[in-house]
Amino acid sequence: MWVGSSGALGALPAAALAASVPVGAADDVPVTVRLTVNDVAQEARVDVRTSLLDYLRENLRLTGTKKGCDHGQCGACTVHVNGRRVNSCLSLVAMHEGDSITTIEGLGTPDRLHPLQAAFVAHDGLQCGYCTSGQIMSAAALLTEPCGRTDADVKEAMSGNICRCGAYSNIVAAIRQVRDAG
Ligand code: FES
Ligand code: FES
């Protein structure tokens, strides 16, 4: 609810208002974090509130990782941290001192696709492509997780990754191909 000058805040003295909305708080102080991104050592000097997602996209220009919801609901921002998948929009880069981060740019290259990238192409597992890097990063993590062999198991393990184009059946087929080959 918006509270205007005639509402509850309007009755507060100016000094109390200033105290309730700190300006230039300690949060504005940059922090230094050393981490590895796609096997390259990085030293990040960032606002302590910077998400891992924004650091990757805005500081390092690794824009393969996508911002969908920015609330941990769509999976478009999925990366690997020390080999495990995380939603980078929900993680502060300041928390990753010493960590190893892998993004879609570190998984394969246009000349040397990761098997999952090739399988997504072969099975037409993408339409607009916006969710695709997150889907592939989740799928790559799934290959190392104790996931059952059925399509239902794969769908459950991939349920944190939303595709607004509805490419789900082709995504599952791509993952199945890579798992069966492995
Ligand atoms: S952008 Fe991170 S889960 Fe949607
Ligand atoms: S391919 Fe368009 S959102 Fe998944």
Tell how far the Cα of 26 is from the centroid of ligand 2, in angstroms. Answer: 40
- Please say whether the beta carbons of 76 and 131 come within 8 A: yes
- pTM, to two decimals: 0.85
Using the 8-state DSSP alphabet, how is residue 59 labeled?
A: I
Residues of the chain with pLDDT under 50: 1-24
Residue 169, helix vs strand vs coil? helix
- The closest residue, in CA terms, to atom 4 on ligand 2 is 163
pLDDT 10s digits, 110-155: 999 999 999 999 999 999 999 999 999 999 999 999 999 999 999 9
Q: Is 10 in the pocket of ligand 2 (CB under 6 A)?
A: no
Ligand with the closest atom to the CA of 129 = 2
Between CA 38 and CA 43, with CA 39 as vertex, the angle to 5 degrees is 90
Q: What is the pLDDT of residue 131?
A: 98
